[in-house]
Amino acid sequence: MDIALVLDLVMKGLSVANTLITVGKNAIPAIDAVKELIAGAQSGTLTDADLDKTEAVLDALIEDFNKPIP
């Protein structure tokens, strides 16, 4: 594990969470994405369940953005 890389991700992940919470958005998907990127720094750790989870989160975010602005 590249410690410097992980620390960089953690710091930026905290920045993401802080900003999203401040504007009233759910920060969990972004935090989970950062966690996945950290986990992905090690090969062989990805499961089909991981893929499915990522896909579900991304699909929901895209669907949310693509809705018409009320």
Partner 1 sequence: MLRKISIVLALSLSLGGCAGLQNVVSNVGTAVGIGTASVVNPVTKERLNQMENVAILVFTGINSWRQACINGAIPVSCKAQIDSVQFYTKQIPPYLTQLRAFVKSGDQINAVTVFNNVTALITTVKARASANGVTINTVGS
Which whole-number Å values give the CA distances from 41 to 25, 34, 35, 38, 57, in the listed order?
27, 11, 10, 5, 20
* Eight-class DSSP state of 67: S
49 binds partner 1 (CB under 8 A): no
Show the tokens assigned to 24.
Answer: 């009233």
24 binds partner 1 (CB under 8 A): yes
3 binds partner 1 (CB under 8 A): no
Binding residues for partner 1, per CB under 8 A? 1-2, 5, 8-9, 12-13, 15-16, 19-20, 22-25, 29-30, 32-34, 36-37, 40-44, 46, 50-51, 54-55, 57-59, 61-66, 69-70
